[in-house]
Structure 1
Amino acid sequence: MLSIIGLLTIFVIVALLISGRITPIVGLVIVPIIGAFFAGFDFKEIGEFFGNGIDSVISVVIMFIFAILFFGIMQDAGVFDPLINTMIKVSRGNVVAVAMATVIIAAIAQLDGSGASTFLITIPALLPLYKRLKMNPYLLLLLVGISASIVNMVPWGGPLGRVAAVLGVDVTELWRPLIKIQVIGLLLLVFVAFVLGLREKRLIRKRIADGLVDDPIEEDESVDENQLTAKREALSLQRPKLLWLNVIIAVTVIGLLVWGEVPAGFIFMVGFSIALPLNYRSVNEQMDRIKAHAPNALLMAAIILAAGSFLGILNGANMLDSIATDLVKVLPVFIVPYLHIIIGFFGVPFDLLLSTDAYYFALLPIVEQVVSGFGVSSISAAYALIVGNIIGTFVSPFSPALWLALGLAGLEMGKHIRYSFLIMWGFSIVLFLITMALGVITF
């Protein structure tokens, strides 16, 4: 019964997110509570689940609020403009080159193993460029998400750490056979970015021809008064004389994020507190900048808190563990020896049903125990689940880092799932088949 209620809860939430009928906050808060009531839990128990869920995301919320404020100040001051202008000049507005460069930048940013910091580094820097070139921001999120997922197969990343804990093996030994998969995956993704870049280029040309957007390179000089006012306001906020000082602050903040020894929320809080009075001296100017960026920060902070409530209730009610356990029980006997292959093949869709913890701590032990009885090694079963699932990390509503990315880019979860899901799943299947062909996954 828990599994049925859990699945219905997840399906309803995903359907509502995709349909766009209600705000994410309403769906993430109300639907799990109704599910918990049907499962027999009372208000007090649900309140405890809520508390645990909020505790798990509160650090992300703090980081998110001050990251939005910090990068907003950096953007207002014009820190990213030279980078954007240089990339446009180098690429001559080449949409394909920008898409391919996005993969490399995201891969480098993900080397610290933190999806949140990767999005914090890449999206504020690249989103203005995508907007300048009239590129779809959901393409940015797709490419950054896949690139970060591939690199996340490192020993200090979450998935391998969880697998090593479940199997009791050395995480570095677990990683070594995956290095070639990561290299192949990134090369394959650069090619995919090339293809998607070509598609995006055609779509931009069509939108320009239809008069839906202006030419991204040859700006239309006949701008209306509102556009002129917005440009004047943006120019008035820029601080070209403080550019290098702002760059030093931004690089220091990003360096501390990569270092990983200081809490990210604290880093952004201090960075924002330094950057704001440095660039805008009067109290009125400072308050205006805070008011300008606070709505986005607070809205997405509320969504992340709602996601924490959602995860806390489903985990506290054991719905996710129950789904993983019952899934194996209902499968036909003849496919059980190939269970790790089947689960890996459908790894990305599983990201819409299970949290990372439920996938690795509940589903993996069951799959490993079942297939090992048919001569499949535990390591091979683990590789199947890792490679099959990891690409879908950042298309899942269970990922707090993804909610952070959506907030940074001002995008919607439902639209992201519609845009990215099939591409991510297709990429995952190809990488999975390559991993099998190289003998890393056996059956």
Structure 2
Amino acid sequence: MLSIIAFLTVITIVALLISGKISPIVGLVLVPVVAALVAGFPVAEIGEFFNEGIDSVISVVIMFIFAILFFGIMQDTGLFDPFINKVISLTRGSVIAVAVGTVIIGAVTHLDGSGASTFLITIPALLPIYLKLRMSPYLLLLLVGLSASIMNLVPWAGPIGRAGAVLGVDPTELWRPLIPVQLSAMVMLLLLAVFLGLREKKRIAKLDEHPEMSGADEEVAATLDEPMEQPAGLKTDSLKRPKLIWLNALIAVSVIGLLVWGIIPSGFVFMIALSLALPINYPNVQDQMSRIKEHAPNALMMAAIILGAGSFLGIMEGTGMLDSLAVDLVAILPAFIVPYLHVIMGVFGVPFDLVLSTDAYYFALLPIVEQIVTAQGIDSITAAYTMIIGNIIGTFVSPFSPALWLALGLAGLEMGRHIRYSFFWVWGFSVALLIVAFLIGVI
């Protein structure tokens, strides 16, 4: 009976998240509470489960809040602007260079872990170049999406934080062994960008030979002659601090260094960094509060979701529902599949992005798979890495990504065409990265 209740709980949460009827916070909090009551647990005991769950994720919440605020401030000061402008100036006129430059710019702008700010910076800056060279704007979305997905492996982005909450592990500790995978992925993506740039160059050459084939692209290219609107959310020049760029760079590099070193907790690192960055760049207290208010919604939203996940996991684990469901699923599944269930989930991680939200994948599927494979002697971290690497590359091919809808709106593109253009490249890249992670011993 406990397994049936657990299964219905997970299915209900997944269905509600997919339907968009409720926010992740509501589903993660209310559904397991109702399930625990139905299973016969008293309210006082459910409260204890909640406390245990919150205790397991509080360090993740602290890190998320201050990391998002810190990198938001760094974006405000224009820390990355000179680098981005230099890359853009170097890539003009060369299709292959533009493709490679897109990857580099996408990676740098996604250092704050925010897909929305990444697209707000990259699309307006690069779209006119793509259109002028008659490159497909869908290639722009593919390359920026892949680059941002790779950068999503940083601990202050969403997926690693969610996985850390599920496993009860500091996201920074999860991230460190993934750094070689991240670096390998960027090298692979740069090579893919060269290949896709050559492919795009040949396509453009064919258009020159057969002008009648370019009709579909001309509809998008027509926007080149129209003035580009300044997207909401881009920072004004009054917030830039060009004279402090080297000091801000030193702070940012020090933060990354301390995170990799691991000598102090990641949340504390970002608290110190934010406390230094704010008064250095904005001495006026009102300006400091204004910057915090600007970035607080993103920080608090992620923090609230992680706290909701802590409540969900605390109740599901405290009641024994997760253990019961895992045991019964092992009895049902074919014996030869069970030890490799995490691998199967990883390989099909990108297709799962088309039908599951990020929250559903990490908070509903990951705990169950982790419970099942650890009973077969598989390390829980290995199981998590396999599912993370397999799924994370598909972040910006998913219709459940709000940032992707923003990107489509900025570029004037369609979701269906984007998925058709990008899906198999993204899935193939994901599987190739899983193989690389296996070869270098991460999984």
Query: Match for residue 345 of structure 1?
Result: 344
1:276, distance to aligned residue in structure 2 (A) = 0.9
Taking the TM superposition and a 5 Å limit, the aligned residue runs for 1:55-204 are 55-92=55-92, 96-98=99-101, 100-101=103-104, 120=112, 129-131=121-123, 132-133=125-126, 135-136=140-141, 139-145=146-152
Question: 1:138 and 1:285, CA in 2 relative to 1: closer, same or farther beyond 3 A?
Answer: same
1:23, distance to aligned residue in structure 2 (A) = 1.5
Task: Note if 1:250 corresponds to 2:252.
Answer: yes
Task: Note if 1:313 corresponds to 2:315.
Answer: yes
Query: Match for residue 293 of structure 1?
Result: 295
Q: 1:273 aligns with which of 275, 292, 297?
A: 275
Decide whether the 8 Å contact of 2:80 with 2:108 is kept in 1: no
Identity of aligned residues (%): 45
Question: 1:395 and 1:13, CA in 2 relative to 1: closer, same or farther beyond 3 A?
Answer: farther
Secondary structure class of the residue paired with 2:376: helix
Q: 2:372 aligns with which of 347, 363, 369?
A: 363
| Range moving further from structure 2, 271-280 or 293-302 | 293-302
Query: Match for residue 34 of structure 1?
Result: 34
| Alignment partners' CA distance in 2, 1:271 and 1:214 | 41
Aligned letter for 1:41? F
Query: Match for residue 391 of structure 1?
Result: 389
Question: 1:31 and 1:396, CA in 2 relative to 1: closer, same or farther beyond 3 A?
Answer: farther
Decide whether the 8 Å contact of 1:68 with 1:408 is kept in 2: no
After superposition, the C-alpha distances for 1:156-207 in whole angstroms (9 at most, x for unaligned) are: x99xx99xxxxxxxxxxxx9xx9999999877666667788899999xx999
Question: 1:85 and 1:427, CA in 2 relative to 1: closer, same or farther beyond 3 A?
Answer: closer
Decide whether the 8 Å contact of 2:53 with 2:312 is kept in 1: yes
1:71, distance to aligned residue in structure 2 (A) = 1.4
TM-score (norm. length: structure 1): 0.64
Question: 1:356 and 1:337, CA in 2 relative to 1: closer, same or farther beyond 3 A?
Answer: closer
1:392, distance to aligned residue in structure 2 (A) = 3.8
Number of residue-to-residue matches in the alignment: 368
1:78, distance to aligned residue in structure 2 (A) = 0.8
| Alignment partners' CA distance in 1, 2:116 and 2:83 | 12
Decide whether the 8 Å contact of 2:185 with 2:433 is kept in 1: yes
Aligned letter for 1:344? V
1:98, distance to aligned residue in structure 2 (A) = 4.8
| Alignment partners' CA distance in 2, 1:249 and 1:435 | 31
1:26, distance to aligned residue in structure 2 (A) = 1.2
Query: Match for residue 328 of structure 2?
Result: 326
Secondary structure class of the residue paired with 1:55: helix
TM-score (norm. length: structure 2): 0.64
Q: 1:239 aligns with which of 238, 241, 244?
A: 241
Decide whether the 8 Å contact of 1:78 with 1:239 is kept in 2: yes
Decide whether the 8 Å contact of 1:66 with 1:268 is kept in 2: yes
Aligned letter for 1:97? V
Aligned letter for 2:12? V
Task: Note if 1:17 corresponds to 2:56.
Answer: no
| Alignment partners' CA distance in 2, 1:7 and 1:395 | 28
| Alignment partners' CA distance in 2, 1:258 and 1:353 | 26
| Alignment partners' CA distance in 1, 2:57 and 2:332 | 33
1:67, distance to aligned residue in structure 2 (A) = 1.4
Decide whether the 8 Å contact of 2:103 with 2:147 is kept in 1: no
Decide whether the 8 Å contact of 2:33 with 2:315 is kept in 1: yes
Aligned letter for 1:27? G
| Alignment partners' CA distance in 1, 2:154 and 2:250 | 27
Query: Match for residue 372 of structure 1?
Result: none
Secondary structure class of the residue paired with 1:28: helix
1:255, distance to aligned residue in structure 2 (A) = 1.4
Secondary structure class of the residue paired with 1:133: helix
| Alignment partners' CA distance in 1, 2:254 and 2:362 | 36
| Alignment partners' CA distance in 1, 2:145 and 2:4 | 32
Decide whether the 8 Å contact of 2:36 with 2:46 is kept in 1: yes
Decide whether the 8 Å contact of 1:257 with 1:264 is kept in 2: yes
Unaligned runs of 5+ in 1: 107-117, 163-174, 369-377, 398-405
After superposition, the C-alpha distances for 1:330-371 in whole angstroms (9 at most, x for unaligned) are: 235xxx2454346632454695576656544x3225435xxx
1:81, distance to aligned residue in structure 2 (A) = 0.7
Question: 1:325 and 1:261, CA in 2 relative to 1: closer, same or farther beyond 3 A?
Answer: same
| Alignment partners' CA distance in 2, 1:290 and 1:182 | 30
